Amino acid sequence: MRISEILAVALLQASAAWSSPLESNAIEARSNRPHHPIKPHHLGKPFPQSPDRTKSCTVKANGNGKDDSQNILKAIKDCNNGGHVIFPKDKNFTIGTALDLTFLKHIDLDIQGTIQFTNDTDYWQKNGFYQTYQNATTFFQLGGQDVNVYGGGTLDGNGQVWYDLYAKDIYILRPILFGVIGLQGGSIEDLKLRYSPQWYNFIANSTDVVYSNIDIAGGSVSSNVAKNTDGWDTYRSDNIVIQNSHINNGDDCVSFKPNSTNILVQNLWCNGSHGISVGSLGQYVGEVDYVKNVYVYNVSMSNASDGARIKVWPGSASALSGDLQGGGGSGAVQNITYDTMVLSNVDYAIEITQCYGQKNITLCNEYPSNLTISDITIKNFSGTTSKTYDPLIGYLVCSSPTVCSDINIENVNVKSPSGTNLYTCGSITGIESQVNCTTNGTKGGNS
């Protein structure tokens, strides 16, 4: 062998000995960004491309329950604008400080370990980020441009202390576990969300965001129920996809709040919820609420109050509870499709109400809702309802036929425990030719 060849081999061996361990460690520490396709349905609008990240930062865990917020913030700032932040596997991180992360740009947050928020209720009530709508607050707010969060790890809201506190005082401000606020382009994928004090996800003032493979769970272990634990709430947001997820909660599986447009929800398993809900809308006088262009496809709904649900406040003020009251707002619900839902032990397969929060139907009809409901399609439902409203399987009541139109229900093969498929119907033109109506039902809007 020539000397030059010997030197070349030696250099290659030295290079391999020096670089391989580092490359191996980097590969082991850094998750590959998931690429869950948006299917079988797609909103049609292309989502922004997210370029590869060129640098990595690892978050140090202090351990022993010490606040890791400053370590997290430092790693994120160091890797903002093109980086990949790693929360290592088998590490536990504690957040005891509210983090404003709305400055993010071109960054991946790779959460492999567990992040738990402290149970300091006094601190979080004073320092959580106030989101205005329905007194919502969040532990942190994540926003900016081109942000991806994934890694297979867990976010834990330490909810039990909040469930117990809320049972004593309904006016406390309970933080939402995951707040996406003002995000333009991004994805939240492959995460486990546990024990949120209130809603699990709040998407506000955001566009072009995809959620895939999210696992939500966490009830109370005391006699105080975990309340208002919606899976997702969208608000003033456009072009949002929520798909391929498992939700075990105690309120709406997904809820489309005011000014949600172009939303796709598909391939969900929901248990213990209040259904896939449009609303509530029209809560605040002087505000215009609209939800338009929503497609819900392929949902399994078990042990829930509702399957498909549209809930609108009446034209006059009413109070559902001390911390939830309103009515008198205006707006529109338009072009909403529920396609393919399998129900098991669900109180109502379908519920449309414009008397949300008002149990006095006569009063509600005297002050019809200021919101219109139109171009609604509900189709391809199967399964069984619970005993709660037997022999009824649905509630389809508007406050006036002038504000409800073009509501189409087809191929709904759902039975009550008695084997019936009756609906309470009222003030919806043409509904009697589509479903089996009875006018004997007396129920108003529920929570």
Residues with active-site annotation:
274
d(CA 17, CA 247): 47
| Residue 428 in tokens | 């919806």
**Distance between CA atoms of residues 284 and 286, nearest Å:** 6
Question: Cα 367 to the chain's mean position, in Å?
Answer: 32
Tell me how long the chain is: 447
Question: What whole-number distance in Å separates Cα of residue 328 and Cα of residue 311?
Answer: 14
Q: How many helices (H) and strands (E) does the chain have?
A: 5, 27
Question: If you search the block for the tokens 């003032």, which residue do you land on?
Answer: 205
* Reduced DSSP (H G I as helix, E B as strand, rest coil) percent helix, strand, coil of the chain, to 5: 15, 50, 35
Structural contact between residues 92 and 118, judged by C-beta atoms closer than 8 angstroms: no
| Cα angle: 237, vertex 240, 243; to 5 degrees | 145
3-state secondary structure 297-350: EEEEEEEEEEEEEEEECCCCCEEEECCEEECCCEEEEEEEEEEEEEEEEEEEEE
Contact 241, 211 (CB under 8 A): yes
